[in-house]
Amino acid sequence: MIVVGRIIALLIGYCFGMVLMGYLIGKSKNIDLTKVGSGNVGSTNTMRNLGVPAGLITLTWDCLKCVVACFFVKLVFGFFVESPSIYMVYAGLGCVLGHDFPCYMHFKGGKGVASTLGFIIALFPIGLPIPAVVFISLVALTRYVSLGSIVAELSFAIEIIVAACLGVFAEKYPGNEIKEVVIICCFVSALSIILHHANIKRLLKGNENKFSFHPETRA
């Protein structure tokens, strides 16, 4: 159950993650988000091209699906193991991977920011304030969603490492489980940062798109 359970939890999360709300909303309006704006199916590109309501719906679902995946695994695995906490972490990882690399879209999905937010809410709610404040502050000051996302992801990874060293999660993730948790959390954060590589290049060149509530005009 130890290894197989982790794989099953990962796959369950992956299935939830593959439900890309932005892409589905775009298709319902005959707009392929992979071909407009940044080409991303996340909430930011959805909002820019489909409007604020569509963007907020996408943001909510991309976050919520990770929460649902984690608690679905908690409910199911709770019948077989005493503590399903570590399996919930794998479900969260799977959800992020499913969002970022959906198999039916040639493994080209989102950047996992909203899914990571759901990951934090479901698994480490105590750690939410710092990344949230970092993100909101940077976006408010610079209007660069990408910059806020990148630094918030980095702050979460640092926060988890520090918390693990202080033994904050020792009871919830005993033994070597805490090492798995730290590795997974750092991987999730690093993956999102890596998927922002194009944004990082534009930020360095000074031509990154700034956040706006107004949809982009298409010819």
- Span 157-207, pLDDT tens digits: 999 999 999 999 988 999 899 999 999 999 999 999 999 999 999 999 988
Per-residue pLDDT band at 38 (split at 50, 70, 90): confident
The pTM of the full predicted model, rounded to 2 decimals, is 0.90
Are the beta carbons of 25 and 54 closer than 8 angstroms? yes
Check residue 219 and give its pLDDT.
Answer: 35
Residue ranges of alpha helices (H) inside 101-175 are 113-123, 129-142, 145-165
Sequence spans of domains, the chain:
2-205
Whether 89 shows a pLDDT value over 80: the answer reads yes
Decide if 127 contacts 163 (C-beta within 8 A): yes
Query: Once rounded to an integer, what is the mean pLDDT over residues 105-123?
Result: 92
Q: What is the pLDDT of residue 1?
A: 59
- Please state, rounded to an integer, the average pLDDT across all residues of the chain: 91
What token pair was written down for 189?
């954060």
